[in-house]
């Protein structure tokens, strides 16, 4: 996974030609992660909130890869 931008609560990178963007949504008390994985053709392979058991950024990155079948 190639990192393009990374800061507290936000990640943007690429993997196998896809763009991965993860944001921590602090409007929820349990700080959910919103994940977007976009293919090179513009279609979304994952666009939504991570499951509740995903509580850290590393876990959110793993979920993005798993959920997008990368």
pLDDT of residue 24: 93
pLDDT of residue 27: 79
65's enclosing H/E stretch is: helix 57-67
Reported as a single tens digit per residue, the pLDDT across 29-44 is 666 999 999 999 999 9
**Cα separation, 68 vs 12, whole angstroms:** 15
Distant-in-sequence, close-in-space partners of 67: CB < 8 Å, separation ≥ 6? 35, 37, 45, 46, 50
Is the pLDDT score of 2 beyond 90? yes
Q: How far is CA 6 from the centre of its chain?
A: 12
pLDDT of residue 28: 67
pTM of the model: 0.91
């Amino acid at each position: 996974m190639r990192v393009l931008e990374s800061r507290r609560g936000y990640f943007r990178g690429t993997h196998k030609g896809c763009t991965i963007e993860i944001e921590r949504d602090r409007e929820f008390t349990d700080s959910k992660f919103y994940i977007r994985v976009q293919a090179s053709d513009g279609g979304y392979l994952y666009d939504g909130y991570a499951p509740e058991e995903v509580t850290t950024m590393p876990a959110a990155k793993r979920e993005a890869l798993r959920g997008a079948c990368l």
